[in-house]
């Protein structure tokens, strides 16, 4: 028996009201800027908006996910779909300096797993708003669905930047009902003569300087991703048996050199994506707590960033005080939550970045990482700022006497020993 899914009456009314409000006079089209990546979702948005009276300016912000050939292909795609104008922004350096550097200092992994690779959305929104002001557009549009986290990041940031009219074509399309939205997007485009790549029909793929995030298909079904889902990492069982070592130089908590050569952070990540990815490092499957209250499962690859963060953690453990190491995790966790939850423009994020920058002033030195069969192991480090006691070697030698050690241990454990000897608490 086949069940037809029909949109609720209020959804139909909302769509009708939206279209009436956004079409404008018949003889005057309105102008919108669309954050555009050339994938299935944003490709759908162009004809959808055009059919509703909007001229569309597409803006591609490259945060490290596109080759020169891909950038040209995306421009052709935008024009093929009917964009009035296409604009390109090279945001690679800016995304690193303003976002990734803080992520590294914070060891910014949401739920101790996901390194907020979504944070590039904030730069994309900012550049889209700048172009809307430049061209006098009335609205900014995005390709977020009504089920995911990105809609929160886009909408909250757009409002924080003063955008009064936000268009979300896919959310509106979803409200009409009729089955899985990506299948319907593909059919919508194909009906209008626009081809859709097979990969786009299976997965939603986002790539930037951080790495690659993949969702959809078997990943959404909580199954193992197919081999062709992965793009940056080799399968660990098929990596070189000997492994490989890389050396990272840090200053103030961020990487500044790779194997003795000074490079900007974006170049370090790019090179490490190739090197560490060849050894299967940085391949993850993750089920997390979404902003909107559901569980979300994604596959992601971040070989370069994972290697850097492993090295950074090893160095800061040696150069920060015990209290700094413990409290720094509190600061880093909060910054990561703001970045993940769509609240990156909250003033607290800038406060935390200032604290992290100051706290990491002594996180300077060199770390050697061994890459082998999917693991990144920090095997050696050196820093002039390491916190160490002269004449002391862990479990070997010390600058204090055995009697001093015994006295310390006795006083340190006195409260616990006394309480334990008191016996268990009486039952009630």
Write out pLDDT tens, residues 87-142. 999 999 999 999 999 999 999 999 999 999 999 999 999 999 999 999 999 999 99
* Residue 6 reports pLDDT greater than 50: no
Q: What is the average pLDDT across 65-78? A: 94
- pLDDT score at 124: 97
Q: What is the average pLDDT across 38-46? A: 94
DSSP 259: T
Q: What is the average pLDDT across 355-359? A: 97
Least confident among 61-65, 181-185, 380-384: 181-185
Residue appearing with tokens 């964009």:
83
* Residue 246 reports pLDDT greater than 90: yes
Q: What is the mean pLDDT of the chain?
A: 90
- pLDDT score at 402: 86
- pLDDT score at 399: 75
- pLDDT score at 7: 47
Which tokens hold the place of 205? Answer: 């793929």
Q: Which range, 132-136, 175-179, 396-400, 404-408, is most confident?
A: 132-136
DSSP 427: P
For the chain, percent of residues with pLDDT exceeding 90: 75
More confident residue, 225 or 17: 225
Q: What is the average pLDDT across 145-158? A: 93
Contact 208, 196 (CB under 8 A): no
- pLDDT score at 26: 53
Ordered domains of the chain (ranges, CATH): 9-95+117-202 (3.40.50.620), 212-320+362-382 (3.90.1260.10), 388-420 (no CATH)
Other Cβ atoms less than 10 A from the Cβ of 331: the count is 18
Contacts by 97-103, CB closer than 8 A, 24 or more apart: 97/265, 98/123, 99/123, 99/339, 100/209, 100/210, 100/265, 100/269, 100/305, 101/254, 101/265, 102/335, 102/353, 102/356, 103/210, 103/305, 103/336, 103/339
For the chain, percent of residues with pLDDT exceeding 70: 92
* Alpha-carbon radius of gyration of the chain: 26
- Under the banding of pLDDT at 50, 70 and 90, the label for residue 350 is very high
Q: What is the average pLDDT across 372-391? A: 91
- pLDDT score at 16: 52
Q: What angle do CA 9, 12, 18 make, to 5 degrees?
A: 140
- Under the banding of pLDDT at 50, 70 and 90, the label for residue 148 is confident
- Under the banding of pLDDT at 50, 70 and 90, the label for residue 401 is confident
- Residue by residue, DSSP assigns 12-54 as HHHHHHHHHHHH--TT--EEEEEE--SSHHHHHHHHHHHTTTE
Report d(CA 72, CA 75) in Å as an integer: 5
- Under the banding of pLDDT at 50, 70 and 90, the label for residue 74 is very high
Report d(CA 30, CA 16) in Å as an integer: 18
Report d(CA 82, CA 43) in Å as an integer: 10
Least confident among 61-65, 214-218, 258-262, 371-375: 214-218
* Residue 425 reports pLDDT greater than 90: no
Report residue 110: phi and psi, to 5°.
Answer: -65, 130
- Say what the alpha-carbon torsion angle 402, 405, 411, 412 is, to the nearest 10 degrees: -150
Cβ contacts of 44 within 8 Å, gap of 6 or more: 143, 169, 170, 173, 185, 188, 189
Other Cβ atoms less than 10 A from the Cβ of 143: the count is 26
Report d(CA 169, CA 144) in Å as an integer: 8
**What Å distances lie between residue 306 and 311, 313, 317, CA to CA?**
9, 11, 17
- Under the banding of pLDDT at 50, 70 and 90, the label for residue 395 is low
Contact 194, 43 (CB under 8 A): yes
Q: What angle do CA 362, 365, 369 make, to 5 degrees?
A: 130
Cβ contacts of 32 within 8 Å, gap of 6 or more: 49, 54, 55, 56, 57, 132, 137, 138, 139, 140, 141, 167
Report d(CA 99, CA 199) in Å as an integer: 29
- Residue by residue, DSSP assigns 213-251 as EEESHHHHTT-PPPGGG-SS---GGGS-TT-EEEEEEEE
* Residue 2 reports pLDDT greater than 80: no
The region, left, alpha or beta by phi > 0 then psi within -120 to 50, assigned to residue 110 is: beta
Q: Read off the pTM.
A: 0.87
- Under the banding of pLDDT at 50, 70 and 90, the label for residue 15 is low
């Amino acid at each position: 028996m086949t069940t037809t899914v029909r949109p609720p009456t209020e959804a139909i009314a909302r769509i009708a009201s939206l279209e009436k409000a956004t079409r404008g006079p018949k003889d005057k089209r309105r102008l919108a800027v669309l954050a555009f990546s050339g994938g299935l979702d944003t490709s759908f948005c162009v004809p959808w908006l055009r059919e509703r009276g909007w001229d569309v300016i597409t803006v591609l912000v490259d945060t490290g996910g596109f080759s020169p050939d891909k950038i040209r292909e995306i421009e052709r795609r935008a024009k093929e779909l009917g964009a009035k104008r296409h604009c390109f922004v090279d945001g690679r350096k800016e995304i690193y300096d303003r976002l990734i550097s803080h992520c590294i200092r914070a060891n910014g992994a949401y739920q101790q797993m996901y390194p907020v690779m979504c944070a590039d959305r904030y730069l994309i929104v900012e550049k889209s708003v700048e172009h809307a002001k430049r061209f006098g557009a009335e609205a900014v549009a995005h390709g977020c669905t009504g089920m995911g986290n990105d809609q929160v990041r886009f909408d909250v940031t757009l409002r924080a930047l003063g955008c009064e009219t936000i268009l979300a074509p896919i959310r509106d399309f979803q409200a009409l009902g009729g089955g899985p939205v990506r299948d319907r997007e593909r059919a919508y485009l194909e009906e209008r003569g626009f081809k859709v790549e097979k990969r786009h029909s299976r997965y939603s793929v986002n790539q930037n300087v951080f790495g690659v995030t993949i969702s959809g298909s078997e990943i959404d079904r909580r199954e193992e991703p197919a081999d062709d889902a992965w793009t940056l990492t080799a399968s660990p069982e098929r990596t070189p048996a000997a492994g490989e070592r890389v050396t990272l130089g840090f200053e103030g908590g961020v990487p500044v050199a790779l194997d003795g050569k000074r490079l900007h952070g974006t170049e370090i990540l790019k090179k490490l994506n190739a090197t560490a990815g060849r050894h299967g490092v940085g391949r993850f499957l993750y089920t997390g707590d979404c902003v909107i209250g559901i569980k979300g499962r994604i596959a992601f690859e971040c070989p370069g960033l994972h290697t850097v963060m492993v090295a950074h953690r090893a160095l800061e453990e040696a150069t920060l005080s015990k209290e700094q190491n413990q409290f720094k995790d509190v600061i880093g966790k909060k910054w990561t939550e703001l970045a993940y939850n769509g609240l990156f423009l909250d003033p607290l994020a800038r406060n935390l970045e200032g604290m992290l920058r100051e706290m990491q002033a002594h996180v300077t030195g060199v770390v050697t990482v061994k890459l082998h069969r999917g693991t990144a192991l920090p095997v050696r480090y050196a820093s002039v700022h390491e916190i160490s006691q002269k004449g002391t070697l862990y479990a070997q030698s010390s600058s204090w006497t055995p009697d001093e050690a015994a006295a310390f241990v006795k006083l340190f454990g006195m409260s616990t020993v006394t309480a334990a000897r008191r016996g268990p608490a009486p039952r009630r």
